[in-house]
Structure 1
Amino acid sequence: MSESVIADFVGKFNASASDRGQPATGRILLSQKRLVLAGEGGKTTIPLSDIFDVAVGHVPPDLGDFFDSTVTIAFRRGDRRHVAAVEADDGKIGKFSTVLFKALLNGTRTTVKHPARVGGRVTDETFHPAKLYLEPKTVRFKGPDSTFAVDLSTVTDFERGRRDVNGTKQEVLSVRHMQDGQAMTSLAALDSAREMSILGRYLRLEYSDIVADLADISLSEQETELLVAVYSTGPGVSLANVVDVEPSQLEMLLADMREKELIEDGDETTTLTAKGRIVVSDKLEAVNS
């Protein structure tokens, strides 16, 4: 490749666009413009502009049971859709997936509103242009009017939907997250549906890590009720006046919640972490369903 290579390693790969029935071993090269899978039997070149989906740790059934730690890339060639699977050790796959997402998304034009909500309050912020950049565990939006970052470890939920953006209906990504101890919602509209899908895939990948951590946490009904009380209690209100437990037991429960990284102490009151808010959201959904 004439352009600068940003990833170059040896691994296994297969692509439905090639004639290989078995995965080949060769070089995987990535630049800002294309992905090349080069082996003894030839090479498959995939322009990044043709990639419309990336999945980490999943291999389509039609590529067989040959792969373990993988990145699967869906791309178009002409009017047909194809997939390619790349396999290497966990460290290489982790670095490759991060670099690939950055190559696909960095510099993407967006129209953002931040914050659109603070807690339950709708703000008077307006949509303005910005460009998106992926940083370690962070999505940063840089614009002429403002720059802000979403710490992915604080994301509690996200969804896609159509909203009015400066007079036109567009598909918008709504991200609920924590910032400076406050729950807020930020909105981002992307010009490209393809890039919106890839960004959604990247966020789901990061969000699944938080959910996986929660799967290892066991909570009693009393602990869950305490988290709901923390969610419902505003500044200046003592938890001791809200929950029906002895003060000594309350302190023990709060200490356990801090150790499990479900709550944290702010300047005025105890607040939920991103993990804690996910637990409470699931609890409230179960009650209301």
Structure 2
Amino acid sequence: MSQGERKLYDERGKFMQAVKDGHEIRDADWSACRVVLTTERVVLIGDEKRSIDIDTLGRVNDRFDVNQNAAVEGSYTSLRTDDMVFLVSTPDQDTFETALYKASLNNGILLVQHPAVEGGVVQDVEWTKAKTKISEDAIRFAMADGQKVRIDRDDIGDVETDKRTVDGQDRTVYEVEHTEDDRSVETHLTGESHHTAVMGALLEEGVERHRANLDLDGVEKQVIMALHSGVSPFDIPEFVDRDVERVEEIFDRLIEYDVIEVERERTEVALTPEGRQAAGDSIGDR
């Protein structure tokens, strides 16, 4: 390893070279190997040693089912450069991918707009350089203006992409919806292509991590949108023109699927005979 290069991951696994010199290998198959990830490269050690520099990655983590051998594999990470694609499978894919995100992004410099949108309102904020730090549970940015921004990896509601001119260059911009102090915000991110390629995969992984596989009806979608726009849960029945019991059923289902969470319980009360007597006494004393 070169000076300053550190090992982040070392496990037995397997790989498949799906593309070589720009051409798909239709008869490609899996080969056992040792998977070594450092701060600078992925090294696949099998019958020979293959090395992929982190900075050459153009896309990562999306499926590339070049043939049936790839398609039947439940989980793998695709590593794409200009003219090669390697598929890598390890015993713990999440651990390998987090290590890959760290290798690619830790201490890298991105451009950040935060908050670009707050409560649905676009904010007039400048792009600011930020140093990136990836952990198992969060993406953190230490911004040049002193801000500290944290995006929890299991709190990424949606990710959109856009093409814009930023800092004099045409760039891919990721618009990340998440929460901050219990309010919905968007943080916009961009940077050099090898950083944004990996950041995009990390963000999409966050979206998929807790995306509920629901078949919501129209009223249920109205409830979610009403809550997102700030309507009080107690005002939802009137807002969607449904009785309280129906809305409570919707809440229960959305809680079950981790779409909403209970912040505090409302206690339903009714007077007992003793209570009615006490109320009568109080009225008589007036």
Give the TM-score taking structure 2 as reference length: 0.76
Instruction: Give, in whole Å, the separation in 1 of the partners of 2:181 and 2:188.
Output: 18
Question: Who is 1:97 aligned against?
Answer: 97
Equivalent residue number for residue 149 of structure 2: 148
Find the counterpart in structure 1 of residue 7 from structure 2.
5
Q: Are 1:230 and 2:232 an aligned pair?
A: no
**Counterparts of residues 34-73 of structure 1 (less than 5 Å):** 34-39=41-46, 41-55=47-61, 58-61=64-67, 67-73=73-79
- Distance in 2, matches of 1:266 and 1:66, equals 42
Cα distance in 1 for residues equivalent to 2:104 and 2:65: 20
Tell me the SS of whatever aligns to 2:126. Answer: coil
3-state SS in 1 of match to 2:240: coil
Partner amino acid, structure 2, of 1:138 = A
What is the aligned partner in structure 1 of residue 282 from structure 2? none
| 1:199 alignment counterpart | 199
The structure in which a higher percent of residues are strand is: 1
Q: Find the counterpart in structure 1 of residue 259 from structure 2.
A: 262
Quick one: distance in 1 between partners of 2:123 and 2:225?
25
Secondary structure, counterpart of 2:151 in structure 1: strand
Write the distance in 1 (CA, Å) between the matches of 2:134 and 2:104: 10
Percent of paired sites with the same residue: 24
In structure 2, do the counterparts of structure 1 residues 97 and 166 end up closer, same or farther at CA, with 3 Å as the change threshold?
closer
Structure 2 residue aligned with 1:253: 250
Q: Which residue of 1 aligns with 2:80?
A: 74
Q: Distance in 2 between matches of 1:112 and 1:49?
A: 20
Counterpart of 2:132 in structure 1 is 132
Looking at structure 1, the residues matched to 167 and 49 of structure 2 have their Cα atoms a distance apart, in angstroms, of: 45
Instruction: Say whether residues 1:29 and 2:24 are aligned partners.
Output: no
Report the counterpart of residue 113 of structure 2 in structure 1.
113
Larger radius of gyration: 2
Residues 176-223 of structure 1: CA distance to partner in whole angstroms, max 9, x if unpaired? 222222111111221x12321221122112212333xx21x3544443
Give 2:138's aligned amino acid.
T
| Alpha-carbon separation, structure 2, partners of 1:254 and 1:122 | 30
* Unaligned 5+ runs, structure 1: 268-289
Q: Report the number of matched residues.
A: 257
SS at match of 2:112: strand
CA RMSD of aligned residues (A): 3.2
Task: Determine if contact 1:14/1:63 at 8 Å carries over to the other structure.
Answer: no
Change beyond 3 A, Cα 1:57–1:88? farther
Q: Give the aligned partner of residue 268 of structure 2.
A: none
TM-score for the superposition, normalised by structure 1:
0.75
Deviations along 1:40-71, one digit per CA (max 9) or x if unpaired, are x2211222222222125544339766844322
How far apart in 2 are the matches of 1:132 and 1:235?
36
